[in-house]
């Protein structure tokens, strides 16, 4: 019985930590794809930029980890506005394939750029004392960082839901996602809404990039491409543009991924893809998607 | 390439003027390694090692010069490395090919160089049977069996481990490595209770589920193999985060999990990890201290060499030996192999030699333990095994026992 | 692809006649083939690279059939490429080394996979289809990695093919016979695809791409037609995969990677979708940038990704229909307002 308890709590806690990371990394892309139908495959580049800003802040200026995360959020959000204004906005009415080409171009260029600046080695940071080591709960012990990841994730999720459900701008975003034309005819400036959402989503990705340094073995140039697969899966399973759906998709996939690797390591990445295929064949528009 | 052009032209000029040194020859060699992509840091290490040797041993070839042409193999698979090799051999007319980080790179190049009879010095690719694929290949790096087998023996005999779990990146070198560990461990009376594949080699997965599974087995030792590069830090950090040492499981492995370039980023997580490997930068020999000093003078105090860098350095030493053997003439496969098979050298990693029969490296394997000293991590050598051969070929296991050309 | 491989010239003549009835050939369409032959003589040192480019063109063409003509966007076309590759490689390493037989088996195997996966997956569209196709190829890659006793896994296996038709050896150093072999297969593959897209079937595909509902309303069995073209495309991708490994004499799990799927899609969009020659241009430009950027710049630093990235961005911003669009625009300028040759 107690070993069963250990296993269940293990799967839940570690799975949840990974889920939170997945959600923070993917939610921005889900919103931009839902809102403008824009296939922004460079989302991972913004997450990667966040990771590098965090690493540089901590190792060069000695800033506390939490401060570095916030700074990376702001810097990457601003950077994404620049990209949106200079490059993306030319392509809103162009075919998806053009958007794919542009954003993959950005991914390639960003990989090369960070390699020139930081070199090919994965960049690591030493975590502050309160985030390393583990917490003993008597029956089982958990790494402090995973607990932190869950708490930080929960705060971010709560803030995001509050912002979207309870504020005026949140209502505008939801309206724009649901029906852009209708929202426009109600006087909502969807162009500006999009810019802000895009910045917010990229900033969130940057947070994810920073938070993921410890969990994913450091930040490195290929990050921008490596995690694209997982973003796309989370968004497809959750339903494009559906924040609640993205959250549950991240939750389910994160926990299943952990459980799968824990119980059947031979299956490798097989399980998460099998689950994805099954879900999408039953619900092609995602768990919470509009049919 | 331009920077090489000028000395080449001026050398030709001097040649034309003096007319005496008619035998001064430029040896073109090709270097294939991942200069971009997920393993770019390995390519950079290897290239730095090779270029450092060239710089320190400029005068060694007399009037002859070496021109190293670098080509990016980009990905682990064969196609790009092979196209680069074809271009190097047929268009650039290189007389030797070296580098080769990934095993599939080396394996795909083998049929090509068998046809062109171009000698090859492998600086890294570690899958055990590779040298069996060509009579024109030698390897100066390592095989998984050298470290794995000895680590298995050591874990059982000296560390008091009766049971062990293995975690490995799921690809042939990973399977080689845990097979070697199992063989050594079981031969010394230990029992391996679980072997956990931890995802493919290309991406660093979240290690927690695998380590958590290992932890739940309550073994005395956990042997981990991951490819050099990105994975190592995640291994140490996950091990620490799950408090596995406190739970009574010791972390052991080949030196890939305490690779020098990754070590300092691991912090206290790596303290106490025991590895078996053919090199780390803390070896006390005069050759190694000179090597590390020269490395840091060349690439900055923050840059450290690791075993991949030493592979590049020693590989270039082998190339120079082959060129010296050619004595101003063309570097042929037969000539190079005559020199290199049986070649001996005092490397930073200790005395090494190439087995004349198999073309594979024979070298010392060191048992080291990671300790924290003055805010830094160092590796202390605990034991030395001399002149270790590849166990896989000794036992003639599977493809290791066959000629593959 | 062609029933009478034994007499290529006769078959060629017939094909040309057939095609000329279907859709007039423009004299300019001979240019890529002349260039291909010129490359053979002028750049022998790059011949393996050039051969790889030819294979990638065929792979991109197969993708154009579904992306450009039928409007099915897939990020998992390596499922077919890789299946073709493994079938051929495993046949060759198990005593069936005939390359032509390998091609046929690869096409058949990939077509079966195309039928099964197409029938199930093509009920979805957009992002869902993208993710599903991607998931399938990644799962196949996992399988190939897990069963490494058979496939060689990540390290792969080396194998040798027998002579083509018992006569021509696939040369492993200068790649002269390999190049010609691939060029001939590419030519027939191209003719097949060209025939399909100008046939009523191809026109119907474009109709489906442009307005699925209307085509359905006028009685077209949309799903069935989409599956049909998916099978054809899969078979050709399978042939491309087979050629890829036959030329290399080596196969690794790389043939199943999602990255390669992405790459070939990028090649296609870069060149221009839905007009055949886009695949030629895109694959060539991409592979040349990937392999020779550093040589051209005279550096050991990896600049290729940067170069490709910039080319992609500029192409999207300034050449609205891919690189081939630029070419079309120039032709149009010279011809005044006359109609463009290829749609």
Count the domains in chain A.
Answer: 1
Q: Which chains touch B (3 or more CB pairs under 8 A)?
A: A, C
Looking at the complex, report in whole angstroms how far the Cα of residue B198 sits from the nearest Cα belonging to chain A: 7
Residues of chain B neighbouring A12 (CB-CB closer than 8 A): none
Residue A133 lies in a domain: no
Percent of chain C surpassing pLDDT 70: 91
B9-28: average pLDDT: 58
Instruction: Please report the pLDDT score of residue A73 as a whole number.
Output: 96
Residue B163 scores a pLDDT above 60: yes
Instruction: Please report the pLDDT score of residue A184 as a whole number.
Output: 86
- A226/B203 Cβ within 8 A: yes
CA distances from A40 to A216, B72, C71, C274 (A): 23, 29, 19, 23
Instruction: Please report the pLDDT score of residue C18 as a whole number.
Output: 56
| Fold exhibited by the domain B2-142+284-359 | Rossmann fold (3.40.50)
What is the reported pTM?
0.92
pLDDT in tens, C113-163: 999 999 999 999 888 999 999 999 999 999 999 898 899 989 999 999 999
Please state the ipTM of this predicted complex.
0.92
Residues of chain B neighbouring C174 (CB-CB closer than 8 A): 90
Q: Is C244 within 8 Å of C85 (Cβ atoms)?
A: yes
Here the tokens at position A230 are 């997982």
Residues of chain C neighbouring B6 (CB-CB closer than 8 A): none
Q: Is C95 within 8 Å of C68 (Cβ atoms)?
A: no
Query: To the nearest 10°, the Cα dihedral for C2, C7, C10, C11?
Result: 0
Q: Which domain holds residue A165?
A: 2-123+142-228
Residue C176 scores a pLDDT above 80: yes
Q: Is C53 within 8 Å of C290 (Cβ atoms)?
A: no
Instruction: Please report the pLDDT score of residue A110 as a whole number.
Output: 96
Residue A238 lies in a domain: no
Reduce the DSSP state of residue B37 to 3 states and report it.
coil
Residue A274 lies in a domain: no
Q: Is B154 within 8 Å of B183 (Cβ atoms)?
A: no
Residue B303 scores a pLDDT above 90: yes
Residue A54 lies in a domain: yes
pLDDT in tens, A178-194: 788 888 888 888 888 88
Domain boundaries, chain C: 31-257
A253 touches chain C (CB under 8 A): no
Cα A156 to chain center, whole Å? 12
Q: Tell which wins on pLDDT, B350 or A217.
A: B350
C169 touches chain A (CB under 8 A): no
Q: Which of A 75-94 lie inside 8 A of B, CB atoms?
A: none
Residues of chain B neighbouring C49 (CB-CB closer than 8 A): 83, 86-87
Here the tokens at position A119 are 């070199």
Residues of chain A neighbouring B201 (CB-CB closer than 8 A): none
A243-267: average pLDDT: 92
Residue A273 lies in a domain: no
C67 touches chain A (CB under 8 A): yes
pLDDT in tens, C32-60: 999 999 999 999 999 999 999 999 999 99
**What letter does residue B91 receive in the DSSP assignment?**
T
Percent of chain B surpassing pLDDT 90: 78
Instruction: Please report the pLDDT score of residue A290 as a whole number.
Output: 62
Antiparallel, parallel or unpaired: β B361-373 and B96-99: unpaired
Q: Which residue of C has its CA nearest to B175?
A: C148
| Among A236, A272, A275, the residue to mutate for chain C (most C Cβ within 10 A) | A236
Interatomic CA distance for residues B76 and B169, integer angstroms: 15
Residues of chain A neighbouring B211 (CB-CB closer than 8 A): none
C305-326: average pLDDT: 92
Residues of chain B neighbouring C154 (CB-CB closer than 8 A): 76, 103-104, 171-172, 200-201
End-to-end CA distance of chain A: 43
Looking at the complex, report in whole angstroms how far the Cα of residue B192 sits from the nearest Cα belonging to chain C: 21
Q: Which of A 176-235 lie inside 8 A of B, CB atoms?
A: 214-218, 220-222, 226
Here the tokens at position C104 are 């046929």
- Per CATH, B2-142+284-359 and B144-277+364-401 having the same topology is answered yes
Looking at the complex, report in whole angstroms how far the Cα of residue B248 sits from the nearest Cα belonging to chain A: 14
Q: Which residue of A has its CA nearest to B40?
A: A120
What are the residues whose beta carbons fall under 8 Å from the beta carbon of C118, sequence distance 6 or more? Answer: C226, C227, C230, C231, C234
Opening angle at CA B310, ends B305 and B311, nearest 5: 135
pLDDT in tens, A154-171: 999 999 989 888 898 888
Residue A149 lies in a domain: yes
Interatomic CA distance for residues C163 and C173, integer angstroms: 15
Instruction: Please report the pLDDT score of residue A36 as a whole number.
Output: 76
Here the tokens at position B307 are 């075993």
Interatomic CA distance for residues C219 and C239, integer angstroms: 33
Nearest residue to C238 via CA among C252, C215, C223, C256: C256
End-to-end CA distance of chain C: 24
- C305/A229 Cβ within 8 A: no
Antiparallel, parallel or unpaired: β B26-33 and B65-72: parallel
Give the long-range contacts of residues C161-164, CB within 8 A, separation 24 or more: C161/C92, C161/C97, C161/C98, C161/C99, C161/C102, C161/C246, C161/C249, C162/C97, C162/C98, C162/C99, C164/C99, C164/C100
Instruction: Please report the pLDDT score of residue C3 as a whole number.
Output: 40
Beta bridge partners of B195: B166
Residues of chain B neighbouring C254 (CB-CB closer than 8 A): 75-79, 104
Q: Which chains touch C (3 or more CB pairs under 8 A)?
A: A, B
- C153/B171 Cβ within 8 A: yes
Interatomic CA distance for residues C14 and C261, integer angstroms: 34
* Residue B113 exposed, middle or buried by CB count within 10 Å (0-12, 13-18, 19+): buried
C278-302: average pLDDT: 93
Residue A136 lies in a domain: no
Which CATH number, 3.10.20.30, 3.20.20.70, 3.20.20.80, 3.40.50.2300, labels domain B144-277+364-401? Answer: 3.40.50.2300
Beta bridge partners of B224: B167
- B86/C291 Cβ within 8 A: no
Residues of chain B neighbouring C253 (CB-CB closer than 8 A): 77
The dihedral sign for the CA sequence A193, A199, A201, A204: negative
A241-253: average pLDDT: 92
Beta bridge partners of A219: A123
Least confident of A27-41, B46-60, B99-113: A27-41
- C172/B104 Cβ within 8 A: no
Instruction: Please report the pLDDT score of residue C9 as a whole number.
Output: 53
Instruction: Please report the pLDDT score of residue B29 as a whole number.
Output: 97
Q: Tell which wins on pLDDT, A170 or C265.
A: C265
A266 touches chain C (CB under 8 A): yes
Interatomic CA distance for residues B103 and B108, integer angstroms: 9
- C306/A100 Cβ within 8 A: no
What are the residues whose beta carbons fall under 8 Å from the beta carbon of B31, sequence distance 6 or more? Answer: B47, B50, B68, B69, B70, B71, B97, B98, B99
Instruction: Please report the pLDDT score of residue A15 as a whole number.
Output: 93
Residue A259 lies in a domain: no
Nearest residue to A32 via CA among A73, A80, A78: A80
Domain boundaries, chain B: 2-142+284-359, 144-277+364-401
What are the residues whose beta carbons fall under 8 Å from the beta carbon of C89, sequence distance 6 or more? Answer: C157, C159, C245, C250, C251
């Amino acid at each position: 019985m107690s070993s069963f308890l250990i296993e269940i709590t293990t799967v839940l806690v570690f799975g949840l930590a990974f889920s939170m990371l997945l959600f923070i990394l993917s939610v921005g892309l889900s919103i931009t794809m839902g809102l403008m139908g824009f296939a922004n495959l460079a989302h991972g580049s913004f997450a990667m930029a966040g990771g590098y800003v965090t690493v540089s802040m901590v190792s060069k200026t000695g800033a506390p980890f939490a401060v570095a995360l916030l700074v990376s959020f702001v810097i990457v959000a601003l950077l994404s506005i620049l990209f949106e204004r200079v490059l993306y906005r030319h392509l809103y009415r162009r075919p998806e394939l053009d958007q794919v080409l542009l954003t993959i171009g950005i991914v390639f260029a960003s990989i090369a750029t960070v390699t020139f600046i930081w070199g090919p080695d994965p960049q690591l940071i030493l975590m502050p004392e309160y985030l390393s080591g583990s917490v003993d709960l008597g029956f089982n012990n958990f790494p402090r960082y995973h607990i932190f990841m869950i708490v930080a994730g929960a705060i971010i999720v709560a803030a995001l839901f509050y912002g979207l459900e309870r504020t005026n701008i949140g209502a505008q975003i939801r309206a724009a996602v649901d029906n852009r034309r209708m929202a426009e005819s109600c006087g909502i400036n969807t162009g500006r809404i999009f810019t802000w959402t895009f910045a917010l989503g990229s900033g969130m990705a940057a947070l994810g990039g920073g938070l993921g340094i410890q969990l994913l073995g450091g930040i490195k140039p290929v990050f921008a491409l490596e995690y694209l697969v997982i973003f796309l899966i989370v968004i497809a399973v959750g339903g494009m543009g559906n924040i609640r759906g993205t959250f549950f998709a991240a939750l389910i996939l994160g926990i299943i991924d952990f459980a799968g690797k824990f119980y059947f390591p031979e299956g490798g990445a097989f399980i998460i893809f099998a689950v994805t295929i099954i879900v999408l064949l039953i619900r092609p528009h995602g768990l919470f998607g509009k049919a | 390439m331009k920077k090489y052009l000028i000395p080449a032209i001026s050398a030709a000029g001097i040649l034309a003027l003096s007319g005496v040194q008619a035998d001064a020859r430029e040896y073109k060699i090709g270097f294939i390694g991942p200069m971009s992509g997920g393993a770019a840091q390995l390519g950079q290490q290897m290239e730095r090692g090779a270029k450092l040797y060239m710089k320190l041993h400029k005068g060694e070839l007399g009037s002859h010069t070496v021109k190293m042409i670098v080509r990016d193999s980009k990905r682990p698979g064969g196609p790009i490395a092979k196209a680069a090799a074809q271009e190097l051999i047929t268009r650039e007319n290189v007389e030797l090919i070296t580098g080769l980080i990934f095993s599939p790179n080396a394996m795909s190049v083998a049929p090509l160089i068998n046809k062109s009879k171009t000698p090859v010095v492998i600086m890294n690719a570690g899958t055990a049977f590779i040298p069996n694929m060509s009579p024109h290949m030698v390897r100066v790096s390592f095989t998984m069996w050298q470290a794995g087998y000895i680590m298995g023996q050591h874990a059982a005999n000296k560390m008091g481990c009766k049971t062990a779990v293995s975690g490995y990146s799921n690809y042939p070198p990973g399977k080689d490595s845990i097979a070697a560990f199992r063989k050594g461990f079981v031969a010394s009376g230990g029992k391996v209770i679980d072997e956990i594949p931890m995802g493919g080699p290309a991406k660093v997965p979240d290690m927690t589920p695998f380590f958590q599974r290992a932890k739940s087995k309550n073994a005395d030792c956990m042997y981990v193999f991951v490819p050099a590069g990105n994975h190592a830090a995640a291994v140490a950090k996950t091990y620490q985060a799950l408090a596995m040492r406190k739970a009574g499981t010791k972390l052991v492995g080949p030196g890939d999990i305490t690779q020098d370039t990754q070590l300092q980023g691991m912090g206290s997580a790596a303290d106490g990890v025991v590895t078996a490997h053919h090199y780390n930068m803390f070896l006390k020999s005069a050759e190694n201290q000179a090597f590390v000093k020269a490395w840091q003078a060349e690439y900055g105090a923050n840059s450290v060499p690791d075993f991949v860098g030493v592979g590049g350095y020693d590989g270039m030493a082998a190339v120079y030996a082959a060129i010296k053997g050619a004595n101003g003439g063309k570097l042929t496969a037969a000539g190079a192999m005559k020199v290199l098979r049986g070649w001996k050298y005092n490397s930073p990693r200790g005395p090494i030699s190439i087995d004349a029969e198999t073309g594979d490296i024979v070298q010392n394997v060191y048992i080291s333990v990671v300790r924290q000293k003055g805010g830094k991590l160092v590796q202390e050598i605990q034991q030395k095994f001399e002149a270790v051969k590849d166990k896989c070929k000794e036992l003639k296991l599977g493809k290791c026992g066959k000629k593959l050309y | 692809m062609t029933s009478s491989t034994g007499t290529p010239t006769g078959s060629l003549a017939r094909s040309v006649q057939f095609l000329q009835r279907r859709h007039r050939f423009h004299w300019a369409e001979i240019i890529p083939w002349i260039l291909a032959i010129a490359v053979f003589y002028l750049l022998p040192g790059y011949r393996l690279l050039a051969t790889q480019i030819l294979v990638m063109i065929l792979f991109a063409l197969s993708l154009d059939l579904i992306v450009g003509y039928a409007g099915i966007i897939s990020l998992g076309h390596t499922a077919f490429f890789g299946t073709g590759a493994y079938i051929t490689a495993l046949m060759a390493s198990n005593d069936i080394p005939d390359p032509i037989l390998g091609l046929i088996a690869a096409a058949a195997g990939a077509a079966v996979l195309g039928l099964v996966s197409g029938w199930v997956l093509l009920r979805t569209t957009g992002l869902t289809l993208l993710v599903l196709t991607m998931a399938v190829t990644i799962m196949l890659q996992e399988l190939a990695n897990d069963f490494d006793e058979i496939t060689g896994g990540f390290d792969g296996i080396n194998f040798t093919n027998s002579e083509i038709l018992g006569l021509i050896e696939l040369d492993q150093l200068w790649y002269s016979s390999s190049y010609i072999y691939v060029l001939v297969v590419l030519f027939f593959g191209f003719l097949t695809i060209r025939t399909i897209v100008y046939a009523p079937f191809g026109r119907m595909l474009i109709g489906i791409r442009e307005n699925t509902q209307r085509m359905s309303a006028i009685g077209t069995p949309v799903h069935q037609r989409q599956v049909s073209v998916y099978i054809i495309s899969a078979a050709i991708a399978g042939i491309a995969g087979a050629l890829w490994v036959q030329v290399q004499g080596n196969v690794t799990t790389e043939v199943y990677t999602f990255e390669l799927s992405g790459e070939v899609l990028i090649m296609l969009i870069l060149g221009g979708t839905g007009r055949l020659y886009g695949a030629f241009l895109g694959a060539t430009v991409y592979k040349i940038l990937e392999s020779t950027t550093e040589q051209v710049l005279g550096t050991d630093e990896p600049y290729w990704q940067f170069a490709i990235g910039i080319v992609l961005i500029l192409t999207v911003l300034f050449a609205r229909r891919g690189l081939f669009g630029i070419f079309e625009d120039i032709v149009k300028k010279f011809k005044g307002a006359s109609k463009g040759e290829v749609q």
